[in-house]
Amino acid sequence: MRADSGIGRAAAQESPLRKAGLWYNRSVRHHGETMKLTTYTDFGLRALMFLALLPPGQRSNVADISTYYDISRNHMVKVVGQLASLGYVRAIRGKNGGIELARAPQEVNVGKVIRELENNLDGIDCSAPYCKLIHVCRLQRALKAGMEAFLTAMEDYTLADLVENREELITVLKLGE
């Protein structure tokens, strides 16, 4: 939020997008407001990026991904489980098991991943709590249009695009150490 926007911290906390769960620390700025994906989707994209950085044939595990990003292992287990059920990650059991990408990075569309991981792409829920404006308000339609524009833009990117700066990412994550 810009300092000159005239909107105080309390007003920002009451935003309909925040109530809808679309707020976390990865954001896209648009006209002074911030549209944010859920932490769940963020973790999913991070996991895919991590796996895309591994040398061909190398597998990892949820504990390693969680450690590298310093995030909750329990949360990452759920995210990786859904990525596996969606066909983005392959989980191999046994002594030499682990997780790996199930598709080549250039075949993983970022916009599609976001659509599949996000549980609320409507922007707001006008019924919880019930809004008196529900029958005449155009906010929900505007937010849906904005979200669709965002997702359409994200469909221009693949996982390969996100890890194009491979050496920098490997250095920052300290992979291979």
- Condensed to tens digits (0 to 9), the pLDDT of residues 80-132 reads 999 999 999 999 998 889 999 999 999 999 999 999 998 777 667 777 788 88
Query: Sign (positive/negative) of CA torsion 49, 54, 60, 66?
Result: negative
User: Mean of the per-residue pLDDT values for the chain?
Assistant: 81
3-173: CATH topology: Arc Repressor Mutant, subunit A (1.10.10)
For the question of whether the overall pTM of this predicted structure is more than 0.85, the answer is no
The CA distances from residue 71 to 31, 96, 119, 145, 163, in Å, are 31, 25, 20, 32, 20
Residue 66 has what pLDDT? 94
- Chunked in runs of 10, what are the mean pLDDT values of the chain (177 residues)? 36 38 39 67 96 94 94 95 97 91 97 91 75 86 87 95 94 82
Candidates 95, 108, 111, 97; CA nearest to 52 is 108
Q: What residues does each domain of the chain span? A: 3-173
Residue 139 has what pLDDT? 87
Residue 133 has what pLDDT? 86
The CA distances from residue 121 to 7, 10, 20, 74, 134, in Å, are 25, 24, 9, 24, 18
The CA distances from residue 122 to 115, 140, 144, in Å, are 11, 7, 5
Partners of residue 89 on adjacent β-strands: 101
